[in-house]
Amino acid sequence: MTVSSAAFIPEKIAKLKEYVPVEADVPVKLDSNENPYPMPEPLRARLCEIAGTLEYNRYPDPYARELVGKFAKVYGVKPERVVAGCGSDEVLHLLCQALIYDGAAVATAPPDFSMYAFYAYLEGGRVITSSRGADGRIDFCELARLAKSDGCRCVMFSNPCNPTGAVATRDEMLDFVRNAGCPVVVDEAYGEFSGREYSVLDMAGELPNLIVLKTLSKAFGLAGLRVGFAVAHEDIVRAVKKVKSPYNLNAFSQAAGAAALEYAGEIFALAEKIGKAAKELYKKLHALSLQGGYEAIEPGANFVLLKFFDAADAERVHAELLRRGISVRLLGGALRITCGTDAENEKFYAEFERIIKGGITNERGKAGEGDARD
Ligand code: PMP
């Protein structure tokens, strides 16, 4: 008897779609919310030196203590409240493993980073959703109702939000967390672009149910190293350490991440510059919005979301930009444009304006926008 290998895959996994990354090979890549600038030259030299001196025959530190210590110092948190992982993506998955069980409800506010719902689903969670306003902001009253509803075990949202770019204020978030009655994960992957006044990182663990996610992939420009963190009360950190694989973060990423954190001052200044450039880009795109048939959302991060009134227009503009060597992210009826270098932004805007003024968009209707996976 021959059995197909596919028959071994449980239905829950079989019905998942594989992740298809954007792999546009074009000169201007504004599709993945990466930092467009190369790392400081002395840091690059330091990473080469580290690569040549590590003992690769040995397992790495299971708790990444040097890296965690540097992170805690730079961000002003207690090291015992920090756990590191292979990107904030892995940390998020570990949190879901530690907090969620079959049938537990997990509240999200789409459009948001789609991995919240994905990992919740993998752990048997039931995802419940709250809405956002037209400006992309979370409706915290509605989210609070969900948080307090039967069986809700966790709330997750990004701030600044990927893909809307909208930011919630510190007071809004802290009020919400204080009353939520369950763990709240605030993902501050893009926090360095908006500034510390929108951050609740200092309260992670002070409030027993607040967990903040951080990453070196965005402002630090080290997406390829895969280094992320959760900051939370010691009890939650201990639970995450129990479920993680012992050597989740490799030796090079640990050492390189620790070295990169020594350049935090320089990197935070660059992130501020990128955040300002994203706001400038938004202003220009907003000025063109009536003609373009879209609404631009004011960003608190390093990207701008354009919600087209007709989804077909978003597709046409996306395809036309690609033809001209510029890749942006198409998310349902919206385009998410990552802020690039000044030269990349100018090139993008010039081509975008030409496309809009050339009349690429036409029929008007209503479009939704999708969640973002990176
Ligand atoms: N959170 C948000 C909001 C993101 O947009 C991303 C990736 N783009 C991540 C987390 C994951 O980042 P990483 O795994 O690279 O740390």
Q: What is the pLDDT of residues 85-139, one digit of tens each?
A: 999 999 999 999 999 999 999 999 999 999 999 999 999 999 999 999 988 999 9
What pLDDT is recorded for position 183? 98
Q: Which residues line ligand 1 (CB under 6 A)?
A: 33, 87-89, 113, 158, 162, 187, 189, 215, 217, 223, 228, 374
State percent of the chain over pLDDT 90: 90
Residues 6+ apart with CB under 8 A from 16: none
The 10 Å Cβ neighbour count of residue 61 is 16
Distance 4 CA to ligand 1 centre (A): 36
Alpha-carbon distance of 146 to 209, in angstroms, equals 16
Mean pLDDT of 4-9: 94
Structure tokens at 165: 């770019």
pTM for this prediction:
0.93
Structure tokens at 148: 């307090």
Reply yes or no on whether the pLDDT at 203 is more than 70.
yes
Alpha-carbon distance of 36 to 33, in angstroms, equals 9
Whether 37 contacts 270, CB under 8 Å: yes
pLDDT digits (tens, 9 = 90+) for 55-73: 999 999 999 999 999 999 9
Lowest mean pLDDT among 60-69, 164-173, 331-340, 357-366: 357-366
Q: Which helix (H) or strand (E) holds 65?
A: helix 65-75
Distance 71 CA to ligand 1 centre (A): 17
Q: Where are the beta strands (DSSP E) in 252-359?
A: 294-297, 303-308, 326-331, 334-338
Mean model confidence pLDDT for the chain: 94
